[in-house]
Amino acid sequence: MRRIGVPMTLERPRRQPVSPMIDETIIKDLVHGFYARVRDDAQLGPIFNRVIDDWDEHLAKMCDFWSSVMLLTGRYKGNPMIAHMRLKMVRPEHFERWLTLFRATANDLCDPHAAALFVGKAENIARSLQLGMFYRSGASPGAQNPGQHPAESQQSQQPEGERS
Ligand code: HEM
């Protein structure tokens, strides 16, 4: 008997790269363009410049990250949640600024369709990072970061109200 609406094969669809329009060249241009703006930004620049010693290494890592997200190359092997939870100075408003700069860079450097795909992924990842960093049950925002990035340890010796 033929059942309506039931597919004959139940193979799981293979995960596909997000779009054939996106390649490593676009990713490199976007990553380098974005972090050039971040480093110059009054709000975000000091956070990144305090923690990152080797910008070439960070940019290569971020190209690997976006290559894994958009092209499914699997080149990125890290754990963004743990890396961000160590950044005690980061607050929700920094995410707003990060996304504003990311949207502007993507719209300037990519065609509109590719820009929308990058921004959509970034928004989703930013949301999940913020849920982990600020909104754990029973914790007050920003108060539960385990450990701390070594570059911030000097700052942690200041009284709470004086931290940035
Ligand atoms: C407030 C917004 C953000 C700030 C201030 C921030 C800051 C940083 C800093 C300082 C690092 C270097 C950490 C280290 O070397 O120890 C880092 C790493 C990283 N960030 Fe962000 N970030 C932000 C948002 C995001 C978002 C939205 C994404 C993804 C779309 C992202 C993806 C990553 C990744 C993949 C790494 C590398 C983690 C690793 O070491 O493997 N970040 N971020």
Mean of per-residue pLDDT scores for the chain: 84
What pLDDT does residue 16 have?
79
Residue 62: per-residue pLDDT: 98
DSSP codes of every residue in 107-128? HHHS-HHHHHHHHHHHHHHHHH
Residue with CA at minimum distance from ligand 1 atom 19? 80
Looking at residue 17, what is its pLDDT? 78
Fold classification of 24-136 is Globin-like (1.10.490)
- The number of the ligand 1 atom at minimal distance from the alpha carbon of 77 is 41
- State the 10-residue block means of pLDDT for the chain, 164 residues long: 50 72 96 98 97 98 98 96 95 98 98 97 98 76 55 47 32
pLDDT for res 136 = 73
Residue ranges of domains in the chain = 24-136
- The angle at the Cα of 129, spanning 47 to 46, to the nearest 5 degrees, equals 5
126 lines ligand 1 (CB under 6 A): yes
- Residues in CB range of 18: below 8 A, 6 or more apart: 69, 70, 71, 117, 121
Look at residue 137 in the predicted model and tell me its pLDDT.
62
82 alpha carbon – ligand 1 mean position (Å): 10
pLDDT for residue 77: 96
Q: Max alpha carbon distance in the chain (Å)?
A: 74
Quote the pLDDT of residue 144: 46
For residues 110-119, b (16+ Cβ closer than 10 Å) or e, as one string?
beeebbebbb
What per-residue confidence (pLDDT) applies to 10? 54
The rounded Å distance from CA 138 to ligand 1 centre is: 25
- The closest-lying atom of ligand 1 relative to the alpha carbon of residue 99 is 27
Per-residue pLDDT tens over the stretch 22-45: 999 999 999 999 999 999 999 999
